[in-house]
Amino acid sequence: MDKKSELVPIGAAAKKAGVSRQSLQYYLMIGLLEPTEITPTGRRLFDRKGIDRAKLIKKLNESGYPLRAIRELFMEGRTDLKGAESE
């Protein structure tokens, strides 16, 4: 499988991450997440790493971290995706 075939659109990425499409769009809007690729028609595509990051955001938010604090953690480089991958 080539890398292009591993990219999924926002709806599928949200489903795989266990969040709503609106939540994923909000994560994008506030800078918590970036699409892996944007097609010439404007479709946002995500790879496994992006999906795992969305899972981590959800997990941290559910454990009491506000999204602003999560963003600060990401900016400081203080997060590790290994915990989210196993969930």
What's the pTM? 0.80
* Cα gap 49→22, rounded to integer Å: 19
Which CATH number applies to 3-85?
Answer: 1.10.1660.10
Annotated domain spans of the chain: 3-85
Q: Identify the pLDDT of residue 57.
A: 96
Mean pLDDT by 10 residues, the chain (87 residues): 76 97 96 95 96 95 94 78 46
The token duo for 80 is 């590790």
- Alpha-helical (H) ranges within the chain are 10-17, 21-29, 48-62, 67-76, 82-85
Q: Identify the pLDDT of residue 86.
A: 43
